[in-house]
Amino acid sequence: MGAVAALGLMALSASANAETWRIGLEEIEGSVQHRYAERFKELVEKKSDDEINVQLLPYGTWGSTYSALYDAIQGGAIQLGFGSGFLGGTVPESQLLNLNYIMPDDQWLTAKVLNSDAFLKSEPWRQAFRARDLVALAELPEGNQAWTANKAVRTPADMKGLNIRVMDNSLLRATYRAYGASPTSIAYGELYSALQQGQAEGNIQPIFAHEEMGFYEVQDYMIFAGQSQFVATLIGNADWYDGLSDDQRAMIDAVTKKLVREGHDIQTRFNKKRLKAIRSKSDIEIIELDDAQRDAFRELARPVRETYIEEVGERGEQSLNTLLDAVKKADGKQ
Ligand code: 6CS
């Protein structure tokens, strides 16, 4: 056999023996989660000398509801995936990441705090996922969220009764009720037509999502209130994770650490570019709330921390305190 043919055979048998890790995404190709997962794939495959093959499953390829994705990860049919707002139904403590006005304004600082050992590997956060057969491997802040509506919103009075769509998450509903709105939950894939047909009058998304899902086309105002970044947690099946070798677990750790900065750079680039695209393709009016206007919403959001503790319990309270401590140490505020 010629050397080239032998090499081809070796490559074939290496890939035939390769382990496959499947990663379910809550977002479509071209999204922040997708780009992060592409980089995760490249790094894992390279570091494992192609012993591991990572397969990406974008939104829609694993079923139609997010609970189908989380169930598949809990059951081990899919090893890895992202969980964000809808994950509250599976891991109630994860709704912490949906509370408003608890993270620093500095988005890079937020990425560092959420991925610090002090928070990500803290016992309450770890246990919250372990109790549901999951592990939290990384936090991916995907950029500041903006509200959209068909009316200008500058004050809580402007939000009164607004039928704003929130992800299916009781803390988000509590937050928007506290602002005076009438929140409603609609599936991501049905949101465009719901906005178009008036079943929802407002929406909350990071900029890249307003653009790539076309939501901005059916909304007149985009409002920046600085209330929160959109954060997704990279989760893994706990049995699968425990069954990995020490080297494989160390590799995941190294890859996710490297991707903290890269993830931040990806979201910054995507959101900047997509805001430009929205501005050039539409005449949507952009409103930046000033500090005093933000403070009015900040004040109304504050008691929702208590709602979170009441609804989620002790582990939730400990997770909240762990996060607030980590934020305080990082920026000396709060
Ligand atoms: O609003 C939603 O339902 C979805 N939005 C984004 C940006 N990612 C996933 C999430 O479920």
Question: Is 166 touching ligand 1 by the criterion CB < 6 Å?
Answer: no
Judged against a pLDDT cut of 90, whether residue 29 lies above it is answered with yes
Mean pLDDT of 272-278: 98
Nearest-CA residue for atom 7 of ligand 1: 209
Angle, alpha carbons 225-230-234 (nearest 5°): 165
What percentage of the chain reaches a pLDDT higher than 70?
A: 95
Closest-lying ligand 1 atom to the alpha carbon of residue 187: 3
CA distance 40 to 96: 25
Question: Is 159 touching ligand 1 by the criterion CB < 6 Å?
Answer: no
Mean pLDDT of 267-285: 98
Which residues are registered as beta bridge partners of 20? Answer: 53
CA distance 317 to 122: 13
Question: Is 212 touching ligand 1 by the criterion CB < 6 Å?
Answer: no
Radius of gyration from C-alpha coordinates of the chain? 21
| pLDDT per position as a tens digit, 177-205 | 999 999 999 999 999 999 999 999 999 99
Question: Is 85 touching ligand 1 by the criterion CB < 6 Å?
Answer: yes
Judged against a pLDDT cut of 60, whether residue 32 lies above it is answered with yes
Torsion angle in degrees (nearest 10) through CA of 311, 122, 259, 108: 70
Mean pLDDT of 125-147: 98
Q: What's the domain range around 275?
A: 3-331
Ligand 1, pocket-test mutation among 35, 142, 186, 205, most atoms within 8 A of CB = 205
CA 332 to chain centre: 25
Judged against a pLDDT cut of 50, whether residue 5 lies above it is answered with no
Question: Is 167 touching ligand 1 by the criterion CB < 6 Å?
Answer: yes
Mean pLDDT, the chain, rounded, equals: 94
Give me ligand 1 centre to Cα 205, in Å.
Answer: 7
Question: Is 211 touching ligand 1 by the criterion CB < 6 Å?
Answer: no
> What φ, ψ does residue 287 adopt, rounded to 5°?
-120, 125
| pLDDT per position as a tens digit, 301-331 | 999 999 999 999 999 999 999 999 999 999 8
What percentage of the chain reaches a pLDDT higher than 90?
A: 92
Classify 7 as helix, strand or coil.
helix
Closest-lying ligand 1 atom to the alpha carbon of residue 206: 7
On the CB side of 127, how many CA atoms lie within 13 Å of its CA?
A: 10
Asked if 222 and 286 touch (Cβ cutoff 8 Å), the reply is yes
Number of folded domains that form the chain: 1
Mean pLDDT of 20-26: 98
Give me ligand 1 centre to Cα 230, in Å.
Answer: 8
Ligand 1, pocket-test mutation among 230, 266, 267, most atoms within 8 A of CB = 230
Task: Label residue 64 by pLDDT band (50, 70, 90).
Answer: confident
Closest-lying ligand 1 atom to the alpha carbon of residue 66: 11
Closest-lying ligand 1 atom to the alpha carbon of residue 86: 11
Give me ligand 1 centre to Cα 244, in Å.
Answer: 30
Q: What is the CATH number of the domain that holds 324?
A: 3.40.190.170
CA distance 113 to 324: 10
Task: Label residue 270 by pLDDT band (50, 70, 90).
Answer: very high
Question: What is the structure's pLDDT at 2?
Answer: 40
| pLDDT per position as a tens digit, 100-127 | 999 999 999 999 999 999 999 999 999 9
Mean pLDDT of 250-277: 98
Give me ligand 1 centre to Cα 188, in Å.
Answer: 6
Q: Is the pTM of this model over 0.85?
A: yes
Question: Is 84 touching ligand 1 by the criterion CB < 6 Å?
Answer: yes
Give me ligand 1 centre to Cα 26, in Å.
Answer: 7
Higher-confidence position of 330 and 217: 217
Judged against a pLDDT cut of 90, whether residue 239 lies above it is answered with yes
Judged against a pLDDT cut of 70, whether residue 4 lies above it is answered with no
